Amino acid sequence: EDAEKGSYDHYMLKEIHEQPVALRQTLHGRIDGDDVALEEFPPGSFDDVDRVQFVACGTSYHAALYGEWLLSKDGVDATTYIASEYAASPAPVDEDTLVVGVTQSGETADTLEALESARERGARTLALTNVIGSTAARTCDDALFIRAGPEIGVAATKTFSSQVATLVLLAERLVRDITGSPTSDHADRLDALASLPEHVESITTDSRAADISQRCLGDNGHFFIGRGNAFPVALEGALKFKEITYGHAEGFAAGELKHGPLALVTPETPVIAIGTGHDEARLKSNVTESRTRGAPVIAIAPRTASDLADVAEEFLPVPATHPDLVAILANVQLQLIAYHAANAMERSIDKPRNLAKSVTVE
């Protein structure tokens, strides 16, 4: 086991650092100029689809929310469901509904049950998974593989990045087939997607997250906030943090702060704000509201496109890229914060208490 970890103390850190390689595998051969080239799904594959439902759990649910955001902004009717809720109380489907199960392992019982319910009621199902031969890949009508390579750490890291990158590719095909037009800004966004591995690499090779994580060792709560595509990443940052540090953490849509959670914000509750460098005035005022209550605020955003550094106490930059993709980069900083905080607390990082890599019971 130690040999497979190489020079890393934990699989989680190794897998965080593997993300540039994983993303290169995910994207290999799948971008063709200003269009995508998905061997499994040539143009027209989704001509009959008129709405998309995602079903997923945990980190995969957050990736699915990112996918929903990508589709909705370009006019596709898309909704994300927590798989266990969907299994118990399924949303209406018909033969024009595409139900996408986002599942790294392809074996999560709740997700499989939700997919089965959709299939039985006549929907078309698609498994977006890392594991060829998994139950989801075998039982769905179609499969799209994220090609991230094996992930050992219970905390999902590289598979989240590869899931979202795959969803950017899938969104391009779905939007073109369903609406008849490419996504807005498709050429720039696909260019930026091709550069994602090197952008992630610049974070994994040079991040101040280890220092900054030392601000997050108290036990009064940690709040992660973001808007737009940074909202699912705020949820993911909080999940990763609680899963491996055992510290209380919650993710919010930044606009929800003043509808309740702000009552919890004190000098003892770090607030981690995720900016995309786009339309940030309201996030900036959320940061100011938190600072006014004495909270230490750590902002993560592209330095050149964002002025959150002016209002936050600490700032972790990510490379400037297309605003639709920034949150994928911010998530890498969040993974590093969670890892280094958990390491400082000497937690069982690769096998957190009470958790399993793949949850095969409902």
Q: Does 207 bind ligand AGP (CB under 6 A)?
A: no
Q: Does 343 bind ligand AGP (CB under 6 A)?
A: no
The one among 80, 108, 117, 286 contacting ligand AGP by CB under 6 A: 108
| Nearer residue to ligand AGP within complex by CB, 170 or 312 | 170
| Nearer residue to ligand AGP within complex by CB, 5 or 351 | 351
| Nearer residue to ligand AGP within complex by CB, 76 or 239 | 239
Q: How many residues contact ligand AGP, by CB under 6 A?
A: 15
Q: How far is the CB of 103 from ligand AGP (least distance, A)?
A: 3
Q: Which of residues 27-66 bind ligand AGP (CB under 6 A)?
A: 57-60
Kindly name the residue from 5, 242, 351, 357 that is annotated as catalytic: 357
Q: Does 117 bind ligand AGP (CB under 6 A)?
A: no
Residues β-bridged to residue 315? 299
| Nearer residue to ligand AGP within complex by CB, 68 or 177 | 68
Q: How far apart are CA 278 and CA 249, in angstroms?
A: 25
Q: Does 113 bind ligand AGP (CB under 6 A)?
A: no
Q: Does 111 bind ligand AGP (CB under 6 A)?
A: yes
- Tokens 């980190």, residue? 59
Whether 351 is catalytic: no
Q: Does 105 bind ligand AGP (CB under 6 A)?
A: yes
Q: Does 358 bind ligand AGP (CB under 6 A)?
A: yes
Burial grade of 163 (CB within 10 A; 0-12, 13-18, 19 or more) = buried
Q: Which residues are catalytic?
A: 357
List residues near ligand AGP by CB under 6 A.
57-60, 103-105, 108, 111, 154-156, 243, 358-359
